Chain A
């Protein structure tokens, strides 16, 4: 989420942001965690990230604690996590796709 309407990051900058967040909280070891950006939409600023299951805690904590993007306040909201990609496409409780 970027509250002020500034320049939106593209996919590469988004990945750079994620890696920077990991590096700040977990150091070089965290920055070396293999994170993939599977999809990225610049309009809604939402993305699907893939990470190894042992790295979920590190990634989520790093994203939560990231506050700034190019000196602008920002926040990451995690909407859904799941081990299966298909589960992210719909709301499995209401069975609406």
Chain B
């Protein structure tokens, strides 16, 4: 069976500036990542990785980013991600960095990993809570994202992503 194999890289965008989260777009992020690849791996690397490069999913609230590239060049992409230092949008520069969480062969495996990861993150947030109100808020959201029989699988996943 001959087909094009892709690698999906799940990253988390971390920045100290809270305004940064609201104004990221998939196009600006794609440009920033391609620029980083061009700097680190030159023309050859940029061309190699850009064959099938897209930003598949972007969640502005949690800063979750899913990038796709070919299997042959995902090493170049992963090694260039630490060189993304800031995001430029509307003539504003926000310092940030990308944490690679998971590399998978399909979107479904990345989604499964993201659900697990979000669950552990919610539990960790619960432990680190300062005030009682925050604690109650998080507990309520944890309880509300349980799987009931009427709800479908995709509904559970969306709740998981949305209640971060």
Which A residues lie at the B interface, using CB under 8 A?
22-30, 61
CB proximity of B46 to chain A, nearest CB, Å: 8
Q: What 6 A-B pairs come out closest when comparing CB atoms?
A: A27-B42, A27-B41, A26-B42, A27-B40, A25-B42, A28-B40
Write out the residue numbers on chain A whose beta carbons fall within 8 Å of the beta carbon of B43. 24-25
The answer to whether B44 touches A26, judged by C-beta atoms less than 8 angstroms apart, is yes
Write out the residue numbers on chain B whose beta carbons fall within 8 Å of the beta carbon of A24. 42-43
CB-nearest residue of chain A to B36: A27
Write out the residue numbers on chain A whose beta carbons fall within 8 Å of the beta carbon of B79. 29
CB-nearest residue of chain A to B43: A25
Contacts between the two chains (Cβ within 8 Å), count: 30
- Residues of B contacting A: mostly: helix
Is B115's beta carbon under 8 Å from chain A? no
**A29, B75: Cα distance in complex, Å:** 13
Write out the residue numbers on chain A whose beta carbons fall within 8 Å of the beta carbon of B42. 22-30
CB proximity of A18 to chain B, nearest CB, Å: 14
Beyond the given A25-B42, A30-B41, could you list 7 further A-B residue pairs with CB under 8 A, ordered by the A residue number?
A: A22-B42, A23-B42, A24-B43, A26-B42, A27-B38, A28-B40, A28-B41
**A23, B37: Cα distance in complex, Å:** 12
Is B45's beta carbon under 8 Å from chain A? yes
Q: Considering only CB atoms and an 8 Å cut-off, how many residues of chain B contact the other chain?
A: 10
**A35, B11: Cα distance in complex, Å:** 35
Is B140's beta carbon under 8 Å from chain A? no
**A28, B80: Cα distance in complex, Å:** 10
The answer to whether A28 touches B39, judged by C-beta atoms less than 8 angstroms apart, is yes
Write out the residue numbers on chain A whose beta carbons fall within 8 Å of the beta carbon of B37. 27
Write out the residue numbers on chain B whose beta carbons fall within 8 Å of the beta carbon of A26. 41-42, 44-45
Write out the residue numbers on chain A whose beta carbons fall within 8 Å of the beta carbon of B40. 27-29
Q: List 29 A-B contacts (CB under 8 A).
A: A22-B42, A23-B42, A24-B42, A24-B43, A25-B42, A25-B43, A25-B44, A26-B41, A26-B42, A26-B44, A26-B45, A27-B37, A27-B38, A27-B39, A27-B40, A27-B41, A27-B42, A27-B45, A28-B39, A28-B40, A28-B41, A28-B42, A29-B41, A29-B42, A29-B45, A29-B79, A30-B41, A30-B42, A61-B44
